Amino acid sequence: MCISKKESEDKQNGERERYLQANNREFNSLFGYPDNSVKTAKYSVLNFLPMNLFEQFQRLANAYFLFLLLLQLIPQISSLAWYTTVVPLMVVLSITAVKDAIDDVKRHKNDNQVNNRSVLVLMNGRIVTDKWMNVQVGDIIKLENNQIVTADILLLSSSEPYSLTYIETAELDGETNLKVKQAISVTSEMEDNLKLLSAFDGEVRCESPNNKLDRFTGILMYKGKNYILNHDRLILRGCVIRNTDWCYGLVIFTGPDTKVMQNSGKSTFKRTHIDHLMNVLVLWIFLFLGSMCFLLAVGHYIWENNQGYYFQDYLPWEDYVSSSAFSAALIFWSYFIILNTMVPISLYVSVEIIRLGNSFYINWDQKMFYEPKNTPAQARTTTLNEELGQVKYVFSDKTGTLTQNIMIFNKCSINGTFYGDVYDKSAPRSEVSKKREKVDFSYNKLADPKFSFYDKTLAEAVKRGDHWVHLFFLSLSLCHTVISEEKVEVRTPENRILLFCKGADTILGQLLHPSCRSLQDITMDHLDDFASDGLRTLMVAYRELDNAFFQVWSKKHSEACLSLENRENEISTVYEEIERDLMLLGATAIEDKLQDGVPETILTLNKAKIKIWVLTGDKQETAVNIAYACNIFEDEMDEIFIVEGNNNETVGRELRSAREKMKPDSLLESDPVNSYLATKPQPPFKIPEEVPNGSYGLIITGYSLAHALEGNLELELLRTACMCKGVICCRMTPLQKAQVVELVKKYKRAVTLAIGDGANDVSMIKVAHIGVGISGQEGMQAMLSSDYALSQFRYLQRLLLVHGRWSYNRMCKFLSYFFYKNFAFTLVHVWYAFYSGFSAQTVYDTWFITFYNLVYTSLPVLGLSLFDQDVNETWSLRFPELYEPGQHNLYFNKKEFVKCLLHGIYSSFVLYFVPMGTVFNSERKDGKEISDYQSFSLMVQTSLLCVVTVQITLETTYWTMISHVFTWGSLGFYFCILFFLYSDGLCLLFPDVFQFLGVARNTLNLPQMWLCVVLSIILCMLPVVGYQFLKPLFWPVSVDQIIDRIHHCMRHPLPYPVRTKLKHTASRRSAYAFSHKQGFGALITSGKTMKARFPKRNSFPHKR
């Protein structure tokens, strides 16, 4: 077969199939396959500046200031110097660019660390050491024990018998138990013979790169024969070689084509809801500013026509001014420049500083430091902190995220005998305690010294050679998840052929021989006891096979494995022939411990109205068992719905049936949501929250989810799932996890958070508004792709309810105050325009305009935004209901912005007319007038600073020494700077720059000055104090009531509630102690033989 014929066609149509030849780089290079380097960094040295500037100018405010800068370069309209805008703009862009560069340098370091790892490559008959990034498709590489797999490779040979290779897939799927791969016989014969490996020229035709971790199809063409390739022959990048001295592999997929990278998703530039809101508000301000400038320009036109004629001798027009209309047009742009401080560029510098500071709080939090691994919490981004205070949906992986992913043998039942409980002579079954004596396994040199078991009767049965105990443990030692199926055929020394099987009691129980009925009843009672302790169970059985029958069956099995069409169905049919009339041996009870504090954390998050969805690739029963143990599902729920249809029609019917039970009116045309959808709104549109008539849960499998995520059912899925208190999605692919998160993002006005620990969680971590990576047993890829990294799931409640809520509250206070103080500052010019002929004359000294945001008012607002707390961390966790305002964005929204605007307009009115009235027709003690422009300017700016300082003291609820220094120190610093800028020395040295000679000492000693300040403060603060007093009385909200309760508790302390142990319910039992592959043909995955064991209110409806 000539592979090169396909080359030109593939380049035009995209890669549909992959063709490669071993040990032939020249040939493989014709297809343009990527090298093995990976790139998670966003920038390079060449594209950093243009890309970063492009991203920064996506902020409307930055684009707005660039436009202002261009205006200020026109001397005919510029009323302020150009550097007053360009310097702050450059500072803002530079600070943000440096921060982004530092973040990206870290990504580059991580990429370089991975790309420069060493690997052994077969080159020209020799094994040479090369870097990962230099490996190419078609290379043969050597991997040794405990090494990470470099690329997706076809296993050729290994040091183990039958060319088996044991791998750990924790980086891919979070599973720490070992799995096995096996080379095909034609290549395994090469072993580690470099001559044979170098001469190997097999050609591979296989599927194109995709994200299916558990699927691979291909054909190896070697020496004129074709050999079928499947997933069991492929070792994926990111796996770790275990218990295998060496193995050789042919590189199939490299770099971005590897399955782990195909599942990693695209990096997106994440921006918070407040960032989007600020863009809208800047647009509003821009329109408001344009309207004000237009009105002021019209005023100037009218004034020039009616009054300006009489001032021509004193204020002649410039040569380029030909008419009042042209003069008004120039004045429009002059006012546009003067009033630009309504959106000061220092706003964005302050926002970045606040976010950076709150990120440090997360990194420094000792209560999120995991001492066993010496790992702190880590804010890997500084741009999403306030978003942590607005989360509504949490999407969590299961294994390794909610659980410890450490399996511990706890109890078992063997031939009807219960092992694992500890008995007292004078009392029934008792709890195991640390005082109990452990079984001494010193007689067994291979025993794990860390393993604890307390029932000596089992050890005694082993020592005396009990036949059933021996057969039971022989089954466990041979039939485990290292074997590709949960079954194994064994030929004993006595030439007996035994089939050992292990699996769910709901399935295995139906495959037992009728003679096992009484033993099955006893074992099922034991299984119920195991379940009452929250243990995960498996049933164990065996069958002795006739030699002739086995030979016939083995031939059928080989033929099924080589079939090109419907291979899986053929294999399943063959398995069904042998998996029957099994003899029951017993059952195991395995403890997969939850991480510490997981149930309590989920209870707390539920009280905060945060919904938890578990998205897992695990089996349904395992996921449901964990959901109950974690309090995602509760026995008190009205019903738990299972969606398991295998076509669109069935899935749609199941979803509508569930929605009808939760909210019957939701199927009527009169329902508000249906009425809204009937209008066929243009996407993107948001679906409002719907309230169910009870407490419900939802379970949906990955196969059904594939149908539900199609266009005509996705809204049905969303509406049904979002009304449920808890949702479990099982048997999911990494891509489906991302699709579910994207679905909620698309149609719900809510902040989403995804948390996971493995590479299979990377997609959803990147798609969610906030991605949290767990750094634990499962590698680092999820953490490296995350926005925040934690060591334990329980730290999530502190991240959200403490740091997130504080960050959100602080940011909202900051924005409200910042907009207010700048409206009050800027709009004074509008009132002054009526007394200055609309001439674009500024009220303030130029230096005051320059320093107002950068010096005089910057530190107090930063102190508020970095240190303020409405309640401390203890009360934040004790009353999770305090979190709810952030989910609805109550503290800063368009309505709150309008309040800031109105408050600013009122304050500017007071700040202009109170000083105006104070100095009108006033004179000093010596009879001289004080109503000159410079004295008036000083009065206005001093009153303004005093007013905004008092305003921030009213906003501050938690005072620290730093807050006092920042607030009062800034006001004192203003007066110090005032005397310096208005000193005789500066004004005489630079008369064109410093023009307020002696104004400070002449004005500050006037009683009218301080009367003006006091009146301005009183009049500006009266509405604020009145509103704060009346709001709880006339417009109370739940948070105000909780704050009152907290204040009451602070005055009358109560003991902290005692934590009680959460009990497991006996009606639940997981039938899976490990993650499995197919096992028992298609029975496990089909669910056709599953039985329901749950009463109505406690669990699931019956399955047929």
pLDDT for residue 324 = 80
List, in order, residues 6 or more apart from 304 with CB less than 8 Å away: 324, 327, 328, 837
Q: Which two tokens stand for residue 858?
A: 């910057």
**Measured between alpha carbons, how far is 466 from 484 in angstroms, rounded to an integer?**
29
Question: What is residue 901's predicted lDDT score, i.e. its pLDDT?
Answer: 94
Q: Peptide bond preceding 684: is omega within 30 degrees of 0, i.e. cis?
A: yes
The better pLDDT of the pair 1032, 154 is held by: 154
Strand partners, 21: 203
**C-alpha–C-alpha distance, residues 634 and 989, integer Å:** 79
Decide if pLDDT at 1094 tops 50: no
Contact call for residues 342 and 900 (beta carbons, < 8 A): no
CB distance 220 to 154 below 8 Å: yes
Checking if the pLDDT of 977 tops 90, the result is: no
The whole-number pLDDT of residue 801 equals 95
Which regions of 651-701 does DSSP assign to beta strands (E)? 696-701
* Cα separation values, 151 from 139, 182, 263, 446, Å: 10, 17, 14, 35
**885, β-bridge pairs:** none
What average pLDDT score do residues 214-233 get? 89
962-991 exposure pattern, b = at least 16 Cβ within 10 A, e = fewer: ebeebbeebbeebeebbeebbbeeebeeee
Q: Mind giving me the DSSP string for 43-89?
A: --TTTHHHHHHHHHTTSHHHHHHHHHHHHHT-TTT--S-THHHHHHH
* pLDDT tens string 14-29: 567 899 999 999 999 9
* Coil, strand or helix at 618: coil
* Predicted local distance difference test score (pLDDT) of residue 984: 64
Amino acid at site 859 = L
Asked whether 833 and 296 are in contact (CB, 8 A), the reply is: yes
> Is the per-residue pLDDT at 1087 higher than 80?
no
Work out the end-to-end distance of the chain between its first and last CA atoms, rounded to an integer number of angstroms. Answer: 50
DSSP structural state of residue 464: T
Longest dimension (CA), the chain: 127
| Residue owning tokens 């992986």 | 397
Who has greater pLDDT, 724 or 92? 724
pLDDT of residue 436: 66
Q: Which of 972, 937, 971 is nearest to 952 (CA)?
A: 971
> What pLDDT score was predicted for residue 998?
65
Rounded CA-CA distance 779/265 in Å is 18
Torsion angle, alpha carbons of 149, 153, 159, 163, to 10: 140
Highest mean pLDDT: which range of 81-90, 147-156, 612-621? 147-156
Give pLDDT tens digits for 731-758. 888 888 999 999 999 889 899 999 988 7
Q: How many CA atoms lie within 13 A of 502 on its CB side?
A: 30
pLDDT value, residue 422:
66
Helix H or strand E segment including 153: strand 152-158
The letter for the amino acid at 823 is: F
Rounded (10°) angle between helices 48-56 and 83-115: 120
pLDDT tens per residue, range 435-490: 567 888 777 777 777 788 888 888 888 888 899 999 999 888 887 654 445 666 67
Q: Contact, 551 vs 622, CB < 8 A?
A: no
Q: What is the mean pLDDT of residues 596-622?
A: 88
Distance CA 267, CA 717 (A): 27
Q: State yes or no: pLDDT of 83 exceeds 70.
A: no
Phi then psi dihedrals of residue 810, to 5 deg:
-65, -45
Q: Which residue has the tokens 């009042």?
A: 324
The Cα-based distances of 668 to 658, 662, 948, 974 in angstroms read 14, 13, 54, 65
The pTM is what?
Answer: 0.76
Residues 6+ apart with CB under 8 A from 459: 439, 440, 441, 453
pLDDT digits (tens, 9 = 90+) for 23-66: 999 999 999 999 998 887 888 888 899 998 888 887 767 787 78
Q: Which two tokens stand for residue 171?
A: 């980086």
Whether residue 778 has pLDDT greater than 70:
no
11-24 per-residue burial string, b: 16 or more CB within 10 A, e: under 16 = eeeebeebbbbbbe
Residue-wise pLDDT tens digits, 556-585: 887 776 665 666 678 788 888 888 899 999
Q: pLDDT tens digit string along 811-867?
A: 999 999 999 999 999 999 999 999 888 888 888 887 888 788 888 898 999 999 999
In the block, tokens 């320009």 appear at 297
Residue 1083 in this model has a pLDDT that exceeds 80: no
User: Do 643 and 703 touch, CB atoms closer than 8 A?
Assistant: no
Q: Which two tokens stand for residue 15?
A: 């890669």
Confidence band for 319, pLDDT divided at 50, 70 and 90: low
855-868 tens-digit pLDDT:
889 899 999 999 99
Contact between 765 and 773 (Cβ < 8 Å): yes
State the average pLDDT for the chain.
Answer: 82
User: What is the rounded CA–CA span in Å between residue 948 and residue 904?
Assistant: 10
User: In which residue are the tokens 């107002």 written?
Assistant: 852
pLDDT at site 1021? 93
Q: How far apart are CA 770 and CA 526, in angstroms?
A: 44
Query: Over the stretch 417-436, which tens digit does the pLDDT of each residue have?
Result: 999 876 544 444 444 444 56
**pLDDT above 60 for 6:** no
Q: According to the model, what pLDDT value does residue 613 have?
A: 93
User: Residues 204-226: what's their mean pLDDT?
Assistant: 88
The pLDDT value recorded for residue 253 is 95
pLDDT, greater one: 566 or 7: 566
Greater pLDDT, 531 or 753: 753
- 329 by Cβ neighbours in 10 Å (0-12 / 13-18 / 19+) ranks as middle
pLDDT value at residue 178: 81
Q: Residues 831-859, buried b or exposed e (16+ Cβ, 10 A)?
A: bbbeeebbbbebbbbebbbbbbbebbbbb
Judge whether 761 counts as a catalytic residue. no
Report the pLDDT averaged over residues 542-569. Answer: 80
* Per-residue confidence (pLDDT) for residue 1090, from 0 to 100: 34
Q: Residues 397, 529, 845, 868: which is the catalytic one?
A: 397
pLDDT at 11 over 60: no
The β-bridge relationship of strands 403-414 and 417-419 is: antiparallel
pLDDT at 267: 59
Residue 991 confidence (pLDDT): 65
Q: Does residue 714 surpass a pLDDT of 50?
A: yes
